[in-house]
Structure 1
Amino acid sequence: MPDPAARSAKAEQTRSTILESAMRLFRRDGYDRTTMRAIAGEAGVSVGNAYYYFASKEHLIQAFYDGMQDEHADAAAGVLERETSFDARLRGVLEAWLEVAAPSHEFAGQFFKNAADPRSPLSPFSAESAPARAASTALYARVVEGTDLKLPANLRRELPELLWLLQMGVVLFWVYDDSPDQRRSRELVSRLVPIVDRMVRLSRLPVVRGLVDDMLGLVAALRSSGPQ
């Protein structure tokens, strides 16, 4: 697979064509029924050329994830420039994700079926998903930075990853949300963000700080005992 930094304009166009063709077929025929040969045919390239750019269907989905993450960051940029309060920034970023993901809702369940397997490279916790996961966590670090929050140092350090986990919960709800235009998912975000905002602000109180330390200790223990 060519180094992204070394791709020519023609190579980048070929790669984009293959990815766009794959997404069309995934939407039309389903992920499981779509083959790399069919993707190559749709893109007008040889099967060998398709495999040159994407070693498998899983690599195509990873590229789709990466592209969606870039779109999410772009869609969230305005609210991060405009808002300084934590709740407005968090709500804006979560709502931006719902907007970016909306066109993919019809076939999101097909991907989730594979991503739910912890051994799958499509799992959001897999090594293969590390770049998209890191980019999303960095976006939530931007949510925290520059806000009016005053946080204990240990919570400030861990909060971006906790917010990414919160987004994963929203994603799971969204996948199963069959309401028109996924209105229930938007309602979930609007109700959830004020709760998270209050919980985070309470973390500075002495009576709550010990509980926060225990929670972060649990997160650290789970992280260290997870797959390496």
Structure 2
Amino acid sequence: MPLTTAKSEATRELLVSTALRLFRDVGYEKTTMRAIAAEANVSTGSAYYYFASKDDLVHELYRTLQEEHRALALPLLREGRNLGELLKVVLNTGIDVMGPYHDFGSSFISIAIKPSATTSPFGSESAVARARAISLFRHAVAMSRPQPPLAIRNDLPELLWYTYMAVTLFWVYDSSPGQTRTRRLIDQAAPLISKLVILSRLPVVRKIVEDVVQLIHGTRR
């Protein structure tokens, strides 16, 4: 890696880590790009060169976490395992990569839930990052055996991503040592979800799943 590239990457990482610390310590609203630059010991102009706003710093965290999540999860996914086993892998590795940011979790939730927030994982500004995250669940679904019913197979990865968002919210407020309660939730929920997917072959269950999918699609309009 060229020296200039390595230095640029180090500066980006420094700005992100500094911003996260300030978001946690003084709050997102009170943190300015000028303060982030000063704390990181770089010029304000340099900070804006890398990130146009502090929202961009949060999106950079999304991107970094997703790449780390994929790098950790993909080698552990084995074709032929049932969906519950693969889902455990994806959810647990997601918690693994988020672990160092647990102290920032509640602050992030307070930022993301605001209606005008561009940092929301459900917003249009996060569309690319969201699609990248859903693709990991799509990979897990494709490798699972038996395969989910065809009627729900295309929509299932997105439904699993929403499950991941719910687990993440639980993790944010989990004060148990090492967030062990979240791990137990994953261990219990993943097999249950796998069973429900198999049961979706039954007309009555499939209708419920289809209704959930339509509800999610309807909220995008």
Report the TM-score when normalising by structure 1: 0.87
Mapped to 2, the partners of 1:214 and 1:42 lie a distance apart of: 50
Instruction: Give the structure, 1 or 2, with the largest relative contact order (CA under 8 Å, sep 6 or more).
Output: 2
* 1:130 lines up with 2:127 in the alignment: yes
Q: What stretches of structure 1 of length at least 5 have no aligned partner?
A: 1-6
Residue of 164, 168, 172 corresponding to 1:171: 168
Please say if residues 30 and 107 of structure 1, whose CA atoms lie closer than 8 Å, have aligned partners that are also in contact. Answer: no
Aligned residue type for 2:95: L
Partner of 1:4: none
Please say if residues 58 and 119 of structure 2, whose CA atoms lie closer than 8 Å, have aligned partners that are also in contact. Answer: yes
Mapped to 2, the partners of 1:45 and 1:53 lie a distance apart of: 11
Task: Map residues 137-148 of structure 1 onto 2, 5 A cutoff.
Answer: 137-148=134-145
The runs of at least 4 consecutive aligned structure 1 residues that moved more than 6 Å come to: none
Partner of 2:191: 194
Partner of 2:47: 50
Partner of 2:15: 18
Q: Deviations over 1:100-123 (max 9, x none)?
A: 111111121111101011320111
SS across alignment from 2:175: coil
SS across alignment from 1:129: helix
- What is the CA RMSD across the aligned residues, in angstroms? 2.0
Residue of 26, 48, 59 corresponding to 2:56: 59
Deviates more, 1:40-49 or 1:113-122: 40-49
Q: Would the alpha carbon gap of residues 60 and 203 (structure 1) be closer, same or farther in structure 2, given more than 3 Å must change?
A: same
* 1:217 lines up with 2:204 in the alignment: no
Q: What stretches of structure 2 of length at least 5 have no aligned partner?
A: none
Q: Aligned-pair distance for 1:85?
A: 1.8
Report the TM-score when normalising by structure 2: 0.89
Aligned length: 218
Identity of aligned residues (%): 44
* 1:89 lines up with 2:79 in the alignment: no
Residue of 67, 72, 77 corresponding to 1:75: 72
